[in-house]
Structure 1
Amino acid sequence: MKTLLAALAIASASFGNAYAQADKPTIVLVHGAFADSSSWNGVVKILETDGYPVVAVANPLRGVKNDASDVADILGAIKSPVVLVGHSYGGSVISDAAEGHANVKALVYVAAFAPDAGETAAQLAGKFPGSTLGPTLAPPVTLSSGGKDLYIRQDKFHEQFAADVPEAEAKLMAVTQRPIEEAALNETQAEAAWMKIPSWFIYGDGDKNIPPEALAFMAARAHSRDTVVVKGASHVVMVSNPEPVAGLIEKAATEASR
C-alpha cells in the first residue's frame, strides 16, 4: 500500500510539474482528525493556479509513527524541494515525517499540533483551557484490534469543528469525517522537526478543538517565522479561509527557497 501511495505521489507531482514553474517546490498537505484530503480543496485550487505542484496525502489517522511513515514514503518519492503542511493532528505527523528528509525546506502548521519530543497531542490540547471537543465525541467504535475509533457527533460537528463553514457544507463534512484512533492522540512524539526546519503557523481565534492559547504557545516555542491569526475562524480555517492559508504556504515556499 505504501509503495502504491508513493507511486501515486510521484505521478501527481509529475503531472503538476507539467503546469508548474520549475523553480517552485512541491506542496505536500496532510489533513488531521475528523477530516480528509478534500478539506484542502480550496487551498489546492489557489496553489495550483499560482503554479505550485501539490500532493494531498490520505492520512490513515492510526498513530503518529504509523502515519508519519506513510508520509515519509511519499516525501522520499518526491525529488523536488517540499513545503510540508499539516492540519490539526496532521501537525504531529509532519513533525515526525520530515525527520531525515533534506528536501523538506519548510513546515506550515494550520491549526495544528507541533509537539516536542515526549509530548502528545492530547497533552497539548489540555495544556490551556478552551477545548470543548470531548463532550461532542460520539461513543467510541471498538475495533477488532482492540483499539477505539473516535468520531464527532454529527449533530455537534458544525458548531464544534466548522462553525464558520456554511451549514450544508459542514453537514457533508460531518457525514464523511474520517475517525482517528484514540491511541494516536495519546502517542508520544518521537521527533520534533520544527526544531531544525523553519516553520510558519496559521490558526483561527475561534478554534474549539485546540485552544488558541495552545496554538500561540506552540508557534512561539517553534520560533515561527510568521504567525497568522484569522479572526473568527474555526478549527478548519483552511476550509473557511483558504486564501490566507494558501498565502502563508506560498510565503513559506518563497522564504525557505532563499
Structure 2
Amino acid sequence: MTQSTTPTAVLVHGAFADAASWSGVIAGLQRDGIPVLAPPNPLRGLAADAAYVASVAAQVDGPVVLVGHSYGGAVITVAGAAENVVGLVYVAAYVPEENESLADLQGRFPEPPLAAGLRQASYPTADGGQAVEFTIAADAFPEIFAADVPAEVTRVLAVAQRPLAAGAFTEAPGTAAWRTKPSWAVIADADQAINPDVQRFGAERAGAKAVEVAGASHAVAVSRPEEVAGVIREAVRATAS
C-alpha cells in the first residue's frame, strides 16, 4: 500500500452480524475515495477480539479510524489504543469505560428486549471443554435487531448470524481509547438490542460528537447506510493530516 494521509476506515461488526452488514456503508465511503476495510470480528472474547482488530489496524500503512457497531464498540474501545488509530466511531454501540464490562454498563439502564430473545448454544474450546454462545432467536430477530429493514433482507440476516461468546458480556476492557482519541457516535433511537440511553450515556461520557437517527433499529448500518457513512466521513476528514 502507498502511504496516505487520509485515514482508512476499519469497520468492526458486532454480535449477531458479519462484515457484510457494512455493505451499504462501504459503498458510500468508496464513492468518496475513502479507503476502507471490514475485517471479521471473531466474537470469542473482548481481549482476543480487540487484539485481532488492533493487529489489523497496525498493519494498515497510515492512520486508521476504527468504527464499531454494537459489541464492536467495546472492541474498538480497546483496539483503539493502537498507535496509528486516530479516531473512533461508535454505531449503535456500547462505549465502555476502563474496567467496566458490558454487563456493568447495561446494568445501569432498563433491560432491552434483546435479553428475552437470546438463544443459547455451546461450542468446543481449544482445551477440549465447552463454552456458551448466544444468537437471537430467528422469530425474534426482525423486531429486536432490524425492525426497519425489509423483510426479505431480515430473513437472510437472521440465518446468517454469527454468535457471540457469553464471556464477552462480562469481560472488562483494560483500556478506554476514547480517553485519548477523538470520537463520534451514531445513536439508533429505536434500538431494541442496546437501549438507546446506554448509547447516549456512553457517547456523552466519551465526549463523542453524536448524531441521533430517528426511527433507526439496531441494524442502522443496513437500514440507513448513508447517514452512518456520513458520520464516518466526518471523522475521517477531521483526522486527516
Q: Where on the TM-score scale, by shorter chain, does this alignment land: which range?
A: over 0.9
Which segments of structure 1 move beyond 6 Å, counting only runs of 4 or more?
none
Matched, 1:254 2:234: no
Tell me, in whole angstroms, the C-alpha distance in 2 between the residues paired with 1:53 and 1:32.
21
Tell me, in whole angstroms, the C-alpha distance in 1 between the residues paired with 2:13 and 2:136.
16
Which one has the bigger strand percentage?
2
Query: 1:22 Cα shift?
Result: 4.6
Kept after mapping to 1: 8 A contact 2:5/2:63: no
Q: Percent identity?
A: 46
* Alpha-carbon displacement from aligned partner over 1:179-199 (angstroms, at most 9, x marks no partner): 000011111111100011000
Corresponding residue number in structure 1 for 2:124: 144
Given candidates 52, 67, 77, the residue that maps to 1:95 is 77
User: Where do 1:69-218 residues align within 5 Å?
Assistant: 69-99=51-81, 101-138=82-119, 140-145=120-125, 146-218=130-202
Matched, 1:236 2:191: no
Tell me, in whole angstroms, the C-alpha distance in 2 between the residues paired with 1:130 and 1:136.
12
**Number of residue equivalences:** 237
Tell me, in whole angstroms, the C-alpha distance in 2 between the residues paired with 1:22 and 1:42.
24
Corresponding residue number in structure 1 for 2:35: 53
Kept after mapping to 1: 8 A contact 2:118/2:135: yes
* Alpha-carbon displacement from aligned partner over 1:146-186 (angstroms, at most 9, x marks no partner): 21010100111001100000011011000000000001111
Kept after mapping to 2: 8 A contact 1:91/1:113: yes
Which one has the bigger helix percentage?
1
Q: SS at 1:220's partner residue?
A: helix
Tell me, in whole angstroms, the C-alpha distance in 2 between the residues paired with 1:144 and 1:102.
34
Tell me, in whole angstroms, the C-alpha distance in 2 between the residues paired with 1:52 and 1:59.
21
User: Where do 5+ consecutive residues of structure 2 fail to align?
Assistant: none
Query: 1:123 Cα shift?
Result: 2.1
* Alpha-carbon displacement from aligned partner over 1:107-160 (angstroms, at most 9, x marks no partner): 00001111111111122223211511111112x112223210101001110011
Tell me, in whole angstroms, the C-alpha distance in 1 between the residues paired with 2:83 and 2:219.
29
Kept after mapping to 2: 8 A contact 1:24/1:51: no
Deviates further, 152-161 or 72-81: 72-81
Kept after mapping to 2: 8 A contact 1:130/1:208: no
